[in-house]
């Protein structure tokens, strides 16, 4: 049994280069993710930076798939799933938005501080596996910080304020980063 190409596309390139992440670990992560059914894609409205929007449009996203609610974000389907969730998975995984790359981490901004939160396992079942493997946790955390800081640095303050008004239940704070150090 080998890791499927679809799941390999979901993992950060760092995971795929890691010596400590065995084929067994990757298979376990893939199994958890595939059985999940897209919980992270339910009622997901990932915010889109201008550069991300351009990247998604180049990959085939159409303007009617995006809405502006004080910031640009992806729409959801009638069933509540992200508009890009098809056949049990993300249809644009290789070019997905910054907050999707950051999963299962999310953020809030308070003044000059970016607070990094991790979703609970009830939202992302891979969280428990990440917690069991500190190296994997650290690598995904570093990818999340990079993705989140890129997003925040490419949004206006009004857009950040609109995003941060959304509630993020079932999370725990794991770090605080100064905005000027994150850029």
Q: 105 pairs with which residues across the strands?
A: 118
More confident residue, 24 or 4: 24
Q: Give the residue numbers spanning the domain of 169.
A: 5-182
Look at residue 4 in the predicted model and tell me its pLDDT: 43
Domains of the chain: total: 1
Predicted confidence (pLDDT) at residue 8 exceeds the cutoff of 80: no
Q: How does pLDDT run across 116-163, given as a tens digit for each residue?
A: 999 999 888 999 989 998 888 898 899 999 999 999 999 999 999 999
Look at residue 40 in the predicted model and tell me its pLDDT: 84
Rounded CA Rg of the chain: 16
Predicted confidence (pLDDT) at residue 6 exceeds the cutoff of 70: no
Look at residue 29 in the predicted model and tell me its pLDDT: 81
> In whole angstroms, what separates CA 7 from the centre of its chain?
15
47 within 8 A of 73, measured Cβ to Cβ:
yes
Give the pTM.
0.83
Q: How does pLDDT run across 44-82, given as a tens digit for each residue?
A: 889 999 999 999 999 889 999 999 999 999 999 999 999
SS (H, E, C) the chain: CCCCHHHHHHCCHHHHHCCCCCHHHHHHHHHHHHHHCCHHHECCCCECCHHHHHHHHHCCCCHHHEEECCCEEECECCCCEECCEECCEECCHHHCCHHHHHCCEEEEEECCEEEEEEECCCCCCHHHHHHHCHHHHHHHHHHHHHHHHHHHHCCCHHHHHHHHCCCCCCEEEEEEEEHHHHC
> In whole angstroms, what separates CA 71 from the centre of its chain?
17
Q: How does pLDDT run across 88-127, given as a tens digit for each residue?
A: 888 887 888 999 989 899 999 999 999 999 999 988 899 9
Residue 62 and residue 181: Cα distance in Å, rounded? 35
Look at residue 54 in the predicted model and tell me its pLDDT: 92
From the CB of residue 171, how many other CB atoms can be counted at a distance below 10 Å? Answer: 19
Q: How does pLDDT run across 9-54, given as a tens digit for each residue?
A: 444 444 444 555 678 877 888 788 878 888 888 888 899 999 999 9
């Amino acid at each position: 049994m080998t890791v499927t190409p679809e799941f390999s596309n979901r993992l950060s390139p760092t995971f795929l280069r890691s010596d400590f992440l065995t084929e067994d670990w990757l298979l376990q992560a893939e199994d958890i993710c595939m059985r999940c059914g897209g919980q992270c894609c339910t009622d997901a409205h990932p915010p889109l930076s201008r550069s991300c929007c351009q990247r998604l449009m180049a990959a085939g996203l159409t303007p009617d798939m995006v809405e502006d609610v004080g910031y640009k974000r992806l729409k959801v389907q009638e069933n509540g799933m992200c508009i890009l969730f098809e056949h049990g998975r993300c249809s644009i995984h290789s070019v997905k938005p910054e907050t999707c790359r950051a999963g299962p981490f999310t953020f809030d901004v308070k003044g000059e501080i970016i607070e990094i939160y991790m979703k609970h396992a009830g939202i992302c079942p891979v969280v428990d596996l990440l917690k069991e493997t500190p190296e994997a946790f650290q690598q995904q955390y570093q990818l999340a910080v990079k993705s989140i800081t890129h997003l925040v640095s490419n949004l206006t303050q009004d857009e950040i304020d609109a995003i941060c008004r959304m509630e993020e239940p079932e999370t725990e704070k794991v770090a605080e980063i100064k905005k000027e150090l994150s850029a």
